[in-house]
Structure 1
Amino acid sequence: MLAAGWAMSVPSLAQVGPSPAEAAGYQGLHAAAQRGDAAQIAVLAAGGANLNARDGNGRTPLHVATFARQRDAIRALAKAGAAMDLLESDRYDAVTIASVAGDEETLRLLLSLGASAKQVTSRYDGTALIAAAHLGHDGVVRQLIAAGAPLDHVNNLHWTAVIESIVLGNGGARHQATLKALVDAGANLQITDRQGNTPLSLARSRGYNEMAKMLEQRGAR
């Protein structure tokens, strides 16, 4: 099992939104996306601006708008034809950015505009669902499941969304709700971590009694 200190450092290694200095230096579509200027996005798009231009970290205007929670800008970019599923340099897409932020409204918008919940993202070869389960964003998890996110994807740490809801959670109400959403959706409860531990054994070893009970009731071993 990975050391607890390392495991809890995973979020800090994750996404990097634009810094204040980067945001202040943006021009064109990136600047319009950052400030949520839908009208300017439409003007620039009509003038032939590259809708999928990249900043120094590979972020497109859509990534920038998602980090900034600028939903009018997201709508304008989608209407103009921006690609919805590109990855930035750290291999995050807009769906995973919104999911990690627990930004349910922006996620709902992205999915309604055709963004995918099924991509493999991040340096961990994970998914938006795994990232949201890790953080106990149960509302996000339910949205992603409804959008067809792969329930049983195994990342390069050899963890599924079910496993991450346990090993990177705190056993509290939100992680319990996350696990319940995954269990109710039919996630595989027998996939083990790299050491051969099942989700049930992981929950028991951490003293997460409610999670263990939930898994036992679903026939997990």
Structure 2
Amino acid sequence: MKAVVLALALAAAGLAAPVPAQVAPTAAELQAYQGLHRAAARGDLPQLMALIAGGADLESRDRLGRTPLHVATHARQRDAIGVLAAAGAKLDVLENDRYDAVTIAAVADDVPTLALLLSLGAKPGQTTSRYDGTALIAAAHLGHDEVVRRLIAAGAPLDHVNNLHWTALIEAIVLGDGGPRHQRTLVALVDAGANLQLADRQGQTPLQLAVARGYGPMVEKLRAAGAR
């Protein structure tokens, strides 16, 4: 359903339909993994530590450019993430679709893994994905309100504009369903000081976009905050 909403919003904006991105390892890939990728996916800490002690490459890549850290993030193997980070694995590298671990956790609505990554020093505001977005934009699009709050608290840029000419605030409206989680997402962004006047490519402001979609609670919040 969310893919349909995205396709319709892009079509309305005169943009091409999206291509699949942020691909988690398939069952076949998980079965075929060897070395650090296998240990990270399984959360096999003794094997992970043995491989690291033996000099295994922490930044090795699978066919889609995912490092062991990416794989551990997809698998929600937080202890493995901790071991990899302690050994010096890079927290902010991008895989082939230009996603970092923070954005992977944000899209998955995985608050504990996101919190761990941020506590280890991962950057909250990298430009990621083929849309030149951020983890905050991705989370706002999906209505992952607690993730949005965590990223805001960590200093993620509120007003980054992606190559669709959308901010996190705009995506919470145009790609959201107007329901409670997207409402809470919008409230978090507005209360944090997101720019209410940044418009989309057609010159539509967040308030105008919310009015056009009939998202009453969002309209009320935006108007109360001084949006035009």
Same fold (TM over 0.5): yes
CA distance in 2, matches of 1:109, 1:97: 13
Aligned-residue offset at 1:46:
1.2
Aligned with residue 108 of structure 1, among 107, 110, 115? 115
CA deviations 1:66-98 (Å, max 9, x no partner) are 001111110110111100000000000000000
**Structure 1 segment 4-153 matched on structure 2, within 5 A:** 4=8, 6=10, 10=18, 13-153=20-160
Contact 1:54 1:60 in 2 (8 A): yes
Contact 1:33 1:64 in 2 (8 A): yes
Partner of 1:13, secondary structure, is: coil
Aligned length: 219
The letter for the 2-side match of 1:15 is: Q
CA distance in 2, matches of 1:131, 1:7: 19
The letter for the 1-side match of 2:102 is: V
Please tell me whether residue 172 in structure 1 is matched to residue 179 in structure 2. Answer: yes
Q: Percent identical across equivalent pairs?
A: 70
Aligned-residue offset at 1:41:
1.4
Please tell me whether residue 213 in structure 1 is matched to residue 220 in structure 2. Answer: yes
Greater shift, 69-78 or 127-136, is seen at 69-78
CA distance in 1, matches of 2:91, 2:47: 19
CA distance in 2, matches of 1:7, 1:211: 23
Aligned-residue offset at 1:190:
0.4
CA distance in 2, matches of 1:14, 1:121: 11
Aligned-residue offset at 1:5:
6.3
Contact 2:9 2:175 in 1 (8 A): no
CA RMSD of aligned residues (A): 1.5
Contact 1:162 1:199 in 2 (8 A): yes
Instruction: Normalising by structure 1, report the TM-score.
Output: 0.96
The letter for the 2-side match of 1:132 is: A
Structure 2 residue ranges without an equivalent (≥5): 1-5
Aligned-residue offset at 1:14:
2.6
Aligned-residue offset at 1:3:
6.1
Contact 2:25 2:71 in 1 (8 A): yes
Greater shift, 193-202 or 42-51, is seen at 42-51
Contact 1:7 1:168 in 2 (8 A): no
Structure 1 residue ranges without an equivalent (≥5): none
Aligned-residue offset at 1:214:
0.2
Corresponding position of 1:181: 188
Aligned with residue 159 of structure 1, among 155, 166, 169? 166
Aligned-residue offset at 1:137:
0.1
CA distance in 2, matches of 1:189, 1:5: 20
Instruction: Normalising by structure 2, report the TM-score.
Output: 0.93
Corresponding position of 2:199: 192
Corresponding position of 1:202: 209
